[in-house]
Structure 1
């Protein structure tokens, strides 16, 4: 049985952190340098009392209103987040009540970052193929800003907060993007290169001492740590192979793909991948200037922007690729039927 991405919406918090704001905090950084290298001008930041669950609920409410979707039509809820409200209960269970979804719905959280949307699609397709569900709500939401040290200029330049809501059905409607074959991968040897060490069972919250990392950023074990060069090396080594393998798995060649939408990590990394894969600029879509790297929501936000712009059209094939924390990575081709 086929599965289709039919509707996408997203929510961005009201507060905006611009390059001008960052330049005031860190005078040694120029606005032009940030914009040119990272490809981001604004990031939306969750308020102190706004959580990933709150943002996810708002994204779904936008989806329901814009696309005339009834809550009672949903029979499974998948919630992707690495910044949940609680260790337990599962945020998806609370979301079920807040959205008025039927009590017969299946609901679960899964903890993945920049590859989370791709993995969520794979779970949704499997649920449909197994006859378990027909109308699946996939929600991706992160508040990485709450992990960042205020003096960590590197990561504060990159990450923004956002939530996205995607409806996946067993029949085409709306966008009608048929989900193809997946290629997935995992390498836990890179776990320490993108991590929040303190807070869970391995290292419970303690009074953390701030220190300067190897890249001049102030951080602590309670904050997000990212080894940028190692993340870049991992991406450069694995993602070109991922893309080529997924194209072959879908019985295509590179020229068959009309658009490439990768996880919107930063412009420097994306342009490096584009050149390494010899992808034409007009086929390689970047939509992150207005919101930053929103982790698991970057790909659905970019897809929604492309849909609104009428950049993607019926009959076209789009390769989606997510990669990052874990390490984890995944790709899939969708076709607008």
Structure 2
């Protein structure tokens, strides 16, 4: 029996932040400039007091209400987030109780960003393959705007918030082999410097500074866009090549490529560098932005709703970003 993706649902916060609103804050930027640079016209953001667990809970309930499975049949919860409710306890444990999932289920969080969905699929497939679980609920939920300074145009224009719930088990859309990679030397390219044990938050870390027209402090998310771009164009083409070789497939054998929806400029560059035909390369982020760990499952769900996925199609997934961390796999629809 194939171990694979059985269903995906997702949710977006109600609040929407448009380019028109951002252009009123950043004097030199127009809505059109933001759209041209990022490929994003709007992004959904959480309200005060709304957390990643709330989004994950809503996405999971949506999955259960679809009738594909009942909470009582879930025997493992995986939550990918870099915005947990608490330093401890584990947010996945809190969600077990809130969702009414049996106490016999395993649960843990894992701290990854843009590559998290690929790693989550790998973990879930492993759990099912060795018999630890039969029905894994993979939740990817992120609230990056809680970490972003409102005057940091380098990040606030890109990131949106969302959660996705993916059911993995037997008789799903088969998950193939993986190509995974890590380069921790890139940790400073995408980082929240303070707030952990290494650098606790203090009056000093809260001091704001200006950087190329953006304002932030060490308590906020920092992204070196050029370094993240250079990393991505270095590792993603090779990861795609590696995962194709593991499946004994050529580029032409793939029916659809679904990459982490980082931003339009990066996706366009990667598509051209890898020589992927435009019609086989899925981009769908204009109305939601870069939702970090939720971009790939949302893209898969939207592609399905648009009739882009057909029985037997081979879909190459690739996630890459903070860490640095990356991974690719191929699913058979």
Same fold (TM over 0.5): yes
1:16 aligns with 2:16: yes
Deviation of the 1:67 alpha carbon: 3.4
3-state DSSP class of the match of 2:289? Answer: coil
Work out whether residues 118 and 330 of structure 1, in 8 Å CA contact, stay in contact via their aligned partners in 2.
Answer: yes
1:161 aligns with 2:158: no
Whole-angstrom distance in 1 between the partners of 2:124 and 2:317: 16
The residue that corresponds to 1:311 in the other structure is 308
Residue ranges of structure 1 left out of the alignment (5+ in a row): none
The residue that corresponds to 2:222 in the other structure is 225
The residue that corresponds to 1:267 in the other structure is 264
1:203 aligns with 2:179: no
The residue that corresponds to 2:287 in the other structure is 290
The C-alpha deviation readout for 1:65-111, integer Å capped at 9, x for no partner, is: 12342101101000000000001100011000000000100000000
Whole-angstrom distance in 1 between the partners of 2:3 and 2:264: 31
The residue that corresponds to 1:251 in the other structure is 248
Whole-angstrom distance in 2 between the partners of 1:29 and 1:121: 39
The C-alpha deviation readout for 1:25-51, integer Å capped at 9, x for no partner, is: 113101111112211111000011000
Structural RMSD (CA): 0.9
- Deviating runs (4+, > 4 A) in structure 1? none
The C-alpha deviation readout for 1:299-319, integer Å capped at 9, x for no partner, is: 000000001111111110000
Whole-angstrom distance in 1 between the partners of 2:37 and 2:242: 29
Work out whether residues 154 and 223 of structure 2, in 8 Å CA contact, stay in contact via their aligned partners in 1.
Answer: no
Deviation of the 1:270 alpha carbon: 0.2
Deviation of the 1:251 alpha carbon: 1.2
The C-alpha deviation readout for 1:191-225, integer Å capped at 9, x for no partner, is: 01100011111111112111112x33111100000
The residue that corresponds to 2:183 in the other structure is 187
Q: TM-score, structure 1 length as denominator?
A: 0.97
The residue that corresponds to 1:131 in the other structure is 131
The residue that corresponds to 2:41 in the other structure is 41
3-state DSSP class of the match of 2:150? Answer: coil
The C-alpha deviation readout for 1:133-166, integer Å capped at 9, x for no partner, is: 1100000000000000011012110000111000
Deviation of the 1:23 alpha carbon: 1.0
Whole-angstrom distance in 1 between the partners of 2:54 and 2:36: 33
The residue that corresponds to 1:53 in the other structure is 53
Q: TM-score, structure 2 length as denominator?
A: 0.98
Residue ranges of structure 2 left out of the alignment (5+ in a row): none
Whole-angstrom distance in 1 between the partners of 2:257 and 2:331: 10
1:212 aligns with 2:188: no
Deviation of the 1:283 alpha carbon: 0.2
The residue that corresponds to 1:97 in the other structure is 97
The residue that corresponds to 1:178 in the other structure is 174
Whole-angstrom distance in 2 between the partners of 1:131 and 1:60: 23
Work out whether residues 81 and 110 of structure 1, in 8 Å CA contact, stay in contact via their aligned partners in 2.
Answer: yes
Whole-angstrom distance in 1 between the partners of 2:277 and 2:235: 20
Work out whether residues 2 and 128 of structure 1, in 8 Å CA contact, stay in contact via their aligned partners in 2.
Answer: no
Work out whether residues 264 and 288 of structure 1, in 8 Å CA contact, stay in contact via their aligned partners in 2.
Answer: yes
Whole-angstrom distance in 2 between the partners of 1:24 and 1:205: 30
Q: When the two structures are aligned, how many residues end up with a matched partner?
A: 331
Whole-angstrom distance in 2 between the partners of 1:36 and 1:204: 38
3-state DSSP class of the match of 2:245? Answer: helix
Deviation of the 1:6 alpha carbon: 1.0
Deviation of the 1:131 alpha carbon: 1.0
